[in-house]
Structure 1
Amino acid sequence: MTEFAIGQRWLSETETELGLGIVVNLDYRLVTVFYPACEEERTYAKANAPLSRMTFAAGDRIQTQAGDALIVSAVEQVDQLLIYQAAPEDDPAALRPVPESQLGYQVELSAVTDRLFSKQLDSNNWFNLRVAALHARTQAEQSPVLGLRGPRIDLIGHQLWIAHEVANRFAPRVLLADEVGLGKTIEAGLILHQQLHTHRASRVLIVVPQPLVHQWFVEMVRRFNLHFSIFDRERLEALQPDESVRDMFARLLEEEHSGVASTPENPFLSEQLILCSTEFLAHCNMDQLASAEWDLLVVDEAHHLSWSEDAPSDAYQRVARLAAAARGLLLLTATPEQLGVESHFARLHLLDPDRFPTLEAFRSEQQDYQRIAALAGELVDNSIWSADLKARLQALLPDIAPEESRRAQILRELLDRSGTGRVLFRNTRKHVEGFPERHVEGIPLPFPEFYANGEPDDALHPESGFNDDRWCAEDPRVSWLAEFLRRDRSRKVLVICARKETAIDLHAWCGYKLGMNVAVFHEDMDLISRDRAAAYFADPEDGAQALICSEIGSEGRNFQFAHHLVLLDLPRNPDLLEQRIGRLDRIGQTQDIQIHVPYFSDHPQEVLFQWYDQGMQAFTRTNPAGTQILAGSREQLDAALASPKDTTLRAALVEDTRTLAQQLQRQLEAGRDRLLELSSHQPEQAAALIAHLADADAAPPSDFMDSAFERFGVEVEEHSEHAIILKPGPHMIEPFPHLPEEGITVTAHRPTALSRDDLQFLTWEHPMVQGAIELVLSEDRGKASVALLRNPKVKPGTLLIEAFYTVECSAPRALQASRFLPGTIIRSLLDAQGRDLSQAISFPGLSQQCHKMEKPLARKIVDSQQALLEKLLANDQQRVNAQAEEIIQAALATMRTHQDGERNRLVQLQQKNPAIRQEEIDFLDRQTDALRQHLAEARCQLAAVRVIVAAAS
């Protein structure tokens, strides 16, 4: 076993871009190495650590952490550590000791030429795959939509713009308040994905109401490839040993390290991505949870955190403690300030207690802001501005001429100088295109006498009184459904009912006894079974005509390829009804939605249907005030449900509900914030993001991955037009990244991925693709190759050298240095005289003419031409270094211009809008200093070389 010691310098053989590492921790089988260049740690098993000891001999050049360049004179070893006696090149007498722990982290490597001249040669296919991986990594870093290419989402403008705007901030703290159905969860997921992908964040905590835990878990996995660990009481108990075990370990530790106090391990540090419920917060150790160093906290349904100035709820106080400890915060709610200034202030106070300190101050500020928001609405609504409008505008913005041609600039200034636009985003269906019309059909049916023999759990669900499917033969709703499905077998129909038992019985009756092509979907099925059922329903040719779901069918899944929704029963909560309809009523739905509601006449089901339909028009339009309507009419609703044949009682319920709904709707409209609506969506910028993502979709990783699959022994089978099945092959030497033993099915086609939740969406940001790129680049294979050139126009025996260099900056990933210096590739194509032909002959064109050369001949050529090859590559390295230095200096200039401009903008905004935190400006200053240092230390290295010899045609 290799002997390691703390303080030794080692180099990762698989991740050379990490720079020179230092051993910081050891135990009997593990070694931990810290890489200062990237501020990252790696822990390896001692027995097979992919590490090379970095040592220098007399005459070698070394660099210290202070940046001093020295020449080694002698080396000695003290307690397994090396101490170099070294001096500046221009002052050999000024010797000084340099412990290896004080060496700088930049290191010059020559692994490519070492492999070439030691004749460790690879095939053309390996060389081409390595070059493809280099280009893939470079193009990813240069992408204007970095972090947005991977998620399985529709390309919807307002969602993409909000995600791009928020995710590029330092530790964003915002309230996402889009109207129901506009995709707040997707916006939050996009922000999380981009922050994690760009390493702005690494630790995330999501807190949601208990019924939404599963929905969020599925959404994060299926759409964003983010695997959260669900923490509940059982998980917490499993992570915390009981007292007897803890005491035993404490005694052992005290015996081994007498006088050293031990502290209990924080279980919330065991995972990077954690999902829990708001109910879980009431039982967990809040000290541990709050101290777990969260980069981002996400809280869904934030309006449920009740607050009053005198008595904030316990749930609110617990979330407030987490919000204060987390660097970034995303609050999600569909009900912003229009439905209560007090609760709206409570949420904004969570985001920034300094900016929103008291309710009284917030009320005063809001009064002034409403005037500004109304002015913004006039600016947009009027193409020609009146003299009065210009005068009011001039009084508010004295430094800007009130001209229609400056409309965009003026609106931007209004947003930046006032209001909550920087911390609050709200879009409404009224201003977002792409939604279908909704139509409802109520089907009154007679109540069967059969149900009089049962004892239902709830009058709304009379079938609950039976423990088998006998009720299906007597229930006219089932007969109607069967006839409805038979009338048009080509249409897809989603059927939702409240109870899983109802769904199971209905599926068995329709599928097995009536022979209909239906699938079932309920909470007792595991995730794979649900995926299969959803995929079977989604199949346009051989799939199920109908999917019969329990209430869980209204959570998380989108079935917008279907246009017919059958509600076999109705929930008492308007929000839950909207969730059901929302499975089909999504942006991207291509047809109007037909909602069918069979119900029993003179029965509680009819009361509920009329309450929804006539009282609040809940079937045909969204109603963000549904919860408030329910609260205001609950007693009347209960009375009417208890006496369903009392038409007077029912009519009063409907009329009072209609009045309340209209009143709340007027409040919503009166509270419309036009300035906020304008700031929450920038159509031009959103269109540019969509165009970039469309371009990325047009160039998927399919060709690169096909080559990687072939090289690494992954079996590929055809699945369907746009999908393939991947399995580990019998000759696969090592595990392929994110390929399970049982295999997976993937697609690179976005429309297919959106309609098939059971398929993995293979994009350049998918973990498997990212892993494949890193796997190729961490291998030595492909670094050096020799090929035959078959071209009748080239003289036989002509020698060419094709070299690929990379200009890279080793920096902490959170700095995102690639914004200014993305991994850059420089290609050279040298003839025997050292002339560069790369501009005249492209890599793809040349590769098509390069063919396999037998290894014995290839080795002879390298051996016989080594002196020439060394000379040409050395001269080329000098030329490329000069070119790389120009690139580095340009990156530094771009960085300074960008950072200075961003800082000046924030400073100016801070004078006008206290929503700009000093923390943001301080962070920008620290970031600029770190970027300056790391960009200046960027290096150019040879990444791959191919010797090409022309053959006789």
Structure 2
Amino acid sequence: MTDFTPGQRWLSESETELGLGIIKELDYRLVTVEYPAVEEERTYAINNAPLSRVTFDTGDTIRTEGELELTVAEVNELNGLKVYMAHPAGEPDNIQPVPETLLGHTLRLNSAMDRLLSNQLSSNRWFELRVDALNAHCVQQQSRIKGLRGPRIDHIGHQLYIADQVANRYAPRVLLADEVGLGKTIEAGLILHQQLLTGRASRVLVVVPPALVHQWFVEMVRRFNLHFSIFDRERLDALQPETSIKDMLAQIIAEESIAEEKGEAPSNQDNPFLTEQLILCSTDFLAECDIDELAAADWDLLVVDEAHHLEWSEDAPSEGYLRVEAVARQARGLLLLTATPEQLGLESHFARLRLLDPDRYPSLAAFREEQSHYQEIAQLAGDLHDQPSWDADLISRAQALLPDMNIDDDNREAVLAELLDRSGPGRVMFRNTRHNIAGFPLRTVHGYPLPLPDEYRYDSDESLEGQLHPESLYHDDRWCALDPRVSWLEQFFKQHRHDKVLVICASRHTASDLHAHCNYKLGMNIAMFHEDMDLIERDRAAAFFADEVDGAQALICSEIGSEGRNFQFAHHLVLLDLPLNPDLLEQRIGRLDRIGQREDIQIHVPYFEGHAQEVLYRWYHEGMNAFEHTNPAGHDIYLRSRDALEPLLSSDPEYTAIDALVEETRVITDELHTLMETGRDRLLELSSCDSDKADALKAALQEADDSSPLPFMQRVFDRYGVDQEEHSDTAVILKPGPHMRDAFPGLPDEGITMTDDRATALSRDDMQFMTWEHPMVTGSMEMLLGEDRGKAAVSLLKNPRIKAGTLLIEAIYTVESMAPRHLQADRFLPCTVIRHLLDGNGKNISQAISHDGLSQQCHKMDKPLSRKIVSSQKPLLEKLLKGNEAAAAKEAEAIIASSLEAMRKEQSHELARLKALQAKNPAVREEEVTALENQTAQLEKLLSNAQCQLNAVRVIVAGGE
């Protein structure tokens, strides 16, 4: 067993890019190593830690934390730690002690050369794979759309634009308020994915209503490969240590006493919310948990869905609002999601904005005053955008708000941009509506009145559940034989035998009974989907439904079918019953009503005459037109018409009473829609989506889709022993092979099906979407580049034009900076490959033949012969490679200088823009400016210390044809 001592310096053999580590903690079986260069830690098992001790000998050059280079004159040891007696170059008498704890955190390594000269050789194919992985890694780091290409989403412009605008900010605090159906959850997921992938965030808390916990969990996994841990009361209890109340109180008192003596806050080391990085919980859980513990868990991002449910008033904010506020004040970033922003109440809109930035929105009175002037600006923005030419009156109105600008048609874009910068709420709020987003299908509803069976006639004291869903009174599927909706559905399936049909009903029991009746008694090809099925079973059911050739004609879902799934390949929707919640109805229709739906949606509603189902159908259709148009005001319409609606659902309704309800609902609907249209904010719409930038993002993503990682990954699978089986033209089945030596990243024991085709991925939830950002791809590249395989190789060159015995060296250098991920140094200095091809005289002839061209002529050489060649030519190889270091370093210096110049230029430009914008628009937070200044200072230092390292080397010997 290796002897470790805190303070010793060790290097990770599998992750050399972490820099020089320092032993931080030890116990009887684990060792924790801190890597200060990248601000990360690793914990290893002591008996098999992949670590190498780093020590220096007399004559070596060391570098201190203060970037001072010294020459080692003597090496001593004290309590297991090395102490180097060293002096500056040329000053041998200026000896100073340097404990190894004070060594610099970066380390210049030539491990590829060391492996070559010590005959630690890999095959030619491993070398080529390593070089291809390096090149791919460099390309991905330079990508303009980093973080956007990996998610399983359609290329929808406004979603991409919002994600790109928000995710590139430091600790974004924004309100995502797109209209129902426009994809707020996808926008939030894109922002989370990009922030996590780029290192801007690592700890995320998502709070959603209880009914949406499962939907969010599935969406984050399926679309974004983000695996959240769901926290509820049972999970929290399981994390608590089994301690008596007496012992617990004693521990708390002791900790507080120690903290008081030291002047510190009590330790949060036992905080259960620190056990996971990504946590998802419900608003019910938020209401009962220890809010102080939750708030203290160091969140980078807090996400709150359905934020309009947080009730607030100046005198009496709700408990739920106060709890969210407690976490939001300590979280660095905040995303609030709501489909109903300020149109339905200035006070509630202010309440959400003050969560985002309490300093910017200190009081409701000040906000009212500000809003009284804002509408004039919003109206002006709409007129400037819509009018084909600007008349004198419009120019005069614009000049009054922008006195320092030249207002004319030729300067249209600059005028609009300046107006948005000065007054636009797009810094804190994004809202797109169907007014300004194209691509949605039409919706048509078909009602089918059916006679009510005698068995379904209910007493007035029957529960509302029994009235709305009379089949729930049966405990088996006997109701299917007497329910006219079932016989109607049978005929409907026969009439639409070539169409895909989605059937949604409220209860899983209804869905199960109906599925059994249609499948086994009627002999139909029907799939089922409900909450008692596990995720794999649901995926299989959805895939069976999606299959165009051998798949199910219909999918019968419980209410969960309206959550988190996209069935836009179908355009027939049957609602076997209707929910009481208008938002839930819109969610059901939203499974088909998506951007990209190619057919008009046909909504079919069988209902019982003279029954609660008819009341609901007419209330929705005639009262609020909720089937054929989206209804963002649905929840408020329900609240205002509930007193007239619910009595009609609990007794035999009279048609005059239904007519009165419909008329009352229509009046309420018209009033609320007029209010929303009056409050329609053109300035907000214009700042929420820049169509030119959105189109550019879509084009870049399409280009990225054309560059599939599958060919590269197939070679990786072959090298690591992953079995590949063809599934279809666009998909492959991957399984652990019998010769696979180690666990492969992202590959479960049961195997996995993957596709690199976006269209297939969108229609097949049972398949994973392979992109360059998929965890399997990134994980396998990290594994490959973190290993020693491929760093040194010898190959045989077969080319009749080259004299046998000719020796060539292909040296692959990389230039990169060791920097914490959150600084995103790779924006300016991505990992860059320098390739040199040396002849026997040390001349670089890489321009004569490319790496790919050379590799086509290089062939396997037996290892004994390879080692013999290296041993016999070792002095020459060492001389050529060391002589070439200066040339590679010179190229690297030019690359580093260029990156520094680009960084300074971009950062100074962005800082100037942000400060100018802050002077005009107070929505720009001071901490954003400070963060940018700090980032620039750190990047200046870290980029200047970037290293050039020999990453792989191949010795090539020419032989006969």
Question: Same fold per TM (> 0.5)?
Answer: yes
1:178 is matched with: 178
Choose from 880, 896, 902 the match for 2:888. 880
1:645-684 alignment, distance < 5 Å: 645-684=653-692
1:288-367 alignment, distance < 5 Å: 288-367=293-372
Unaligned runs of 5+ in 2: none
Offset at residue 762 of structure 1 (A)? 1.2
Choose from 826, 833, 836 the match for 1:818. 826
1:204-223 alignment, distance < 5 Å: 204-223=204-223
Q: Relative to 1, partners in 2 of residues 1:253 and 1:851: Cα closer, same or farther, differing over 3 Å?
A: farther
Q: Which amino acid aligns with 2:713?
A: M
The answer on whether the counterparts of 1:196 and 1:202 sit within 8 Å (CA) in structure 2 is yes
Whole-angstrom CA distance in 2 between matches of 1:236 and 1:251: 19
1:613-762 alignment, distance < 5 Å: 613-762=621-770
Choose from 429, 432, 440 the match for 1:427. 432
Q: Which amino acid aligns with 2:916?
A: Q
Matched, 1:534 2:570: no
What whole-Å deviation, never above 9, does each CA across 1:259-279 have from its counterpart, x for those lacking one?
Answer: 999876100000000000111
1:215-614 alignment, distance < 5 Å: 215-244=215-244, 247=247, 265-452=270-457, 457-614=465-622
2:39 is matched with: 39
The answer on whether the counterparts of 2:425 and 2:687 sit within 8 Å (CA) in structure 1 is no
Offset at residue 720 of structure 1 (A)? 2.0
Identity rate, percent: 64
Partner SS for 2:489: helix
The answer on whether the counterparts of 1:640 and 1:653 sit within 8 Å (CA) in structure 2 is no
Whole-angstrom CA distance in 1 between matches of 2:219 and 2:721: 32
1:165 is matched with: 165
Partner SS for 2:790: coil
Q: Which amino acid aligns with 1:481?
A: L
Whole-angstrom CA distance in 1 between matches of 2:284 and 2:417: 41
The aligned length equals 952
Q: Which deviates more, 238-247 or 920-929?
A: 238-247
TM-score by length of 1: 0.98
Offset at residue 502 of structure 1 (A)? 0.7
Q: Which deviates more, 543-552 or 870-879?
A: 870-879
Whole-angstrom CA distance in 1 between matches of 2:937 and 2:57: 34
Partner SS for 2:369: helix
The answer on whether the counterparts of 1:268 and 1:288 sit within 8 Å (CA) in structure 2 is yes
What whole-Å deviation, never above 9, does each CA across 1:804-825 have from its counterpart, x for those lacking one?
Answer: 1000100111100001100000
Q: Which amino acid aligns with 2:380?
A: L
Offset at residue 93 of structure 1 (A)? 1.0
Matched, 1:831 2:836: no
Aligned-pair Cα RMSD in Å:
1.9
1:34-113 alignment, distance < 5 Å: 34-113=34-113
Matched, 1:19 2:19: yes
What whole-Å deviation, never above 9, does each CA across 1:86-137 have from its counterpart, x for those lacking one?
Answer: 0111111111111111111121112111111111211111011111111121
The answer on whether the counterparts of 2:458 and 2:467 sit within 8 Å (CA) in structure 1 is no
Q: Which deviates more, 288-297 or 454-463?
A: 454-463
Offset at residue 867 of structure 1 (A)? 2.2
Q: Relative to 1, partners in 2 of residues 1:136 and 1:245: Cα closer, same or farther, differing over 3 Å?
A: farther
Whole-angstrom CA distance in 1 between matches of 2:245 and 2:745: 37
Whole-angstrom CA distance in 2 between matches of 1:250 and 1:461: 55
Partner SS for 1:537: helix
Partner SS for 1:331: strand
Whole-angstrom CA distance in 1 between matches of 2:91 and 2:185: 64
Partner SS for 1:650: helix
The answer on whether the counterparts of 1:369 and 1:419 sit within 8 Å (CA) in structure 2 is no
Whole-angstrom CA distance in 1 between matches of 2:332 and 2:205: 11
Offset at residue 313 of structure 1 (A)? 0.3
Matched, 1:951 2:954: no
Offset at residue 501 of structure 1 (A)? 0.9
Q: Relative to 1, partners in 2 of residues 1:570 and 1:33: Cα closer, same or farther, differing over 3 Å?
A: same
The answer on whether the counterparts of 1:808 and 1:938 sit within 8 Å (CA) in structure 2 is yes
1:858 is matched with: 866
TM-score by length of 2: 0.97
Whole-angstrom CA distance in 1 between matches of 2:251 and 2:325: 38
What whole-Å deviation, never above 9, does each CA across 1:288-336 have from its counterpart, x for those lacking one?
Answer: 1000000000000000001111110000000011110100000000001
Q: Which deviates more, 180-189 or 638-647?
A: 638-647
Whole-angstrom CA distance in 2 between matches of 1:264 and 1:326: 18
Whole-angstrom CA distance in 2 between matches of 1:618 and 1:161: 29
Whole-angstrom CA distance in 1 between matches of 2:802 and 2:574: 72
Unaligned runs of 5+ in 1: none
Q: Which deviates more, 372-381 or 240-249?
A: 240-249
1:844 is matched with: 852
Q: Relative to 1, partners in 2 of residues 1:391 and 1:522: Cα closer, same or farther, differing over 3 Å?
A: same
Choose from 891, 895, 907 the match for 2:915. 907
The answer on whether the counterparts of 1:138 and 1:822 sit within 8 Å (CA) in structure 2 is yes
Q: Which amino acid aligns with 2:236?
A: L
Q: Which amino acid aligns with 1:415?
A: L
The answer on whether the counterparts of 1:250 and 1:262 sit within 8 Å (CA) in structure 2 is no
Whole-angstrom CA distance in 2 between matches of 1:596 and 1:693: 37
Whole-angstrom CA distance in 1 between matches of 2:633 and 2:267: 53
Partner SS for 2:808: strand
Q: Relative to 1, partners in 2 of residues 1:671 and 1:737: Cα closer, same or farther, differing over 3 Å?
A: same
Whole-angstrom CA distance in 2 between matches of 1:781 and 1:850: 18
Q: Which amino acid aligns with 1:733?
A: R
Q: Relative to 1, partners in 2 of residues 1:675 and 1:723: Cα closer, same or farther, differing over 3 Å?
A: same
Offset at residue 243 of structure 1 (A)? 2.9
The answer on whether the counterparts of 1:607 and 1:644 sit within 8 Å (CA) in structure 2 is no
Q: Which amino acid aligns with 2:701?
A: L
Q: Which amino acid aligns with 1:337?
A: E
Offset at residue 859 of structure 1 (A)? 1.6
The answer on whether the counterparts of 2:424 and 2:687 sit within 8 Å (CA) in structure 1 is no
Offset at residue 420 of structure 1 (A)? 2.0
Offset at residue 644 of structure 1 (A)? 4.7
Whole-angstrom CA distance in 1 between matches of 2:267 and 2:222: 41
Offset at residue 397 of structure 1 (A)? 0.7
The answer on whether the counterparts of 1:717 and 1:725 sit within 8 Å (CA) in structure 2 is yes
The answer on whether the counterparts of 1:644 and 1:650 sit within 8 Å (CA) in structure 2 is no
Partner SS for 1:531: helix
The answer on whether the counterparts of 1:490 and 1:545 sit within 8 Å (CA) in structure 2 is yes
1:115-154 alignment, distance < 5 Å: 115-154=115-154
What whole-Å deviation, never above 9, does each CA across 1:526-571 have from its counterpart, x for those lacking one?
Answer: 1111111111111111111100001111111110011100000111
The answer on whether the counterparts of 1:495 and 1:566 sit within 8 Å (CA) in structure 2 is yes
The answer on whether the counterparts of 1:208 and 1:301 sit within 8 Å (CA) in structure 2 is yes
List structure 1 segments (4+ residues) > 6 angstroms apart after TM superposition: 248-255, 257-264, 453-456
Offset at residue 434 of structure 1 (A)? 1.1
Offset at residue 251 of structure 1 (A)? 8.5
2:785 is matched with: 777
The answer on whether the counterparts of 2:150 and 2:224 sit within 8 Å (CA) in structure 1 is yes
Q: Which amino acid aligns with 1:922?
A: T
Whole-angstrom CA distance in 1 between matches of 2:457 and 2:899: 80
Offset at residue 450 of structure 1 (A)? 3.3
